Chains A and B, each alone.
Chain A
Amino acid sequence: EADIYQTPRYLVIGTGKKITLECSQTMGHDKMYWYQQDPGMELHLIHYSYGVNSTEKGDLSSESTVSRIRTEHFPLTLESARPSHTSQYLCASSGDRGRNQPQHFGDGTRLSIL
């Protein structure tokens, strides 16, 4: 059973606020990912990391930033939230480098920007 946690589950906040979405995993996985998913739509990879101090941008351009200071923690930050950032954000992790293990997902943060 995968142990990956996202907080908050739901967030409604005004335009211009700085937001940090938290993601933690207890499996010691090197690889972590952030996806954006609008309701009923496909997953879009926005950031990923293959280890501490390693981050890459994904396929979908995003105004968010990420950091990976600790293996278990991969927060996503929006410096100034806008209504176009309203979406569901899913965090995932997978096993050891080079072993092509499947990803395990958290339950997501549903973000609404007013």
Chain B
Amino acid sequence: QKEVEQDPGPLSVPEGAIVSLNCTYSNSAFQYFMWYRQYSRKGPELLMYTYSSGNKEDGRFTAQVDKSSKYISLFIRDSQPSDSATYLCAMIRNSGNTPLVFGKGTRLSVIA
């Protein structure tokens, strides 16, 4: 079993829809959680960075962390065609010098 599981999709939604992207993880040592957005032929871009359980909102994006269930989510409200990209979750253990562990990424298409 991989440490971080993420459904690769693809996920196709109409413009204006609410999108829910999810990751589960198996290691309770993960304490810091990130969501990245990657457009085709570009590097991943940091969208959200959270530590504690609960919600963090930034514009149309909300990151949710449930450490008791080992489950994180990214919600996109009023989705736009420009949101079409691959979304990767990532997390770090709370033990100092360890690299990020990434999910496989979910490919999202928002159709106008």
Residues of A within 8 A of B (CB): 2, 31, 33, 40-43, 45, 48, 50, 58, 90, 92, 97-98, 100, 102-108, 110
CA distance A98 to B44 in the complex (A): 22
State how many angstroms separate the Cβ of A65 from the closest Cβ of chain B: 18
Chain B residues within an 8 Å CB radius of A58 = 99
What bracket does the count of chain B residues touching chain A fall in?
20 to 34
Is there an interface contact between B102 and A40, defined as CB atoms closer than 8 Å?
A: no
Chain B residues within an 8 Å CB radius of A41 = 104
Chain A residues within an 8 Å CB radius of B103 = 42
Is there an interface contact between B97 and A50, defined as CB atoms closer than 8 Å?
A: yes
CA distance A33 to B57 in the complex (A): 28
In the complex with contacts A40-B107, A102-B49, A90-B44 CB distance below 8 A: yes
B93 closest partner in A (C-beta): A100
CA distance A42 to B90 in the complex (A): 12
In the complex with contacts A42-B105, A43-B88, A102-B43 CB distance below 8 A: no
State how many angstroms separate the Cβ of B52 from the closest Cβ of chain A: 13
A48 contact from B36, B99, B102, Cβ within 8 A? B99
State how many angstroms separate the Cβ of B72 from the closest Cβ of chain A: 14
B97 contact from A33, A45, A97, Cβ within 8 A? A97
CA distance A20 to B71 in the complex (A): 39
Is there an interface contact between A108 and B42, defined as CB atoms closer than 8 Å?
A: yes
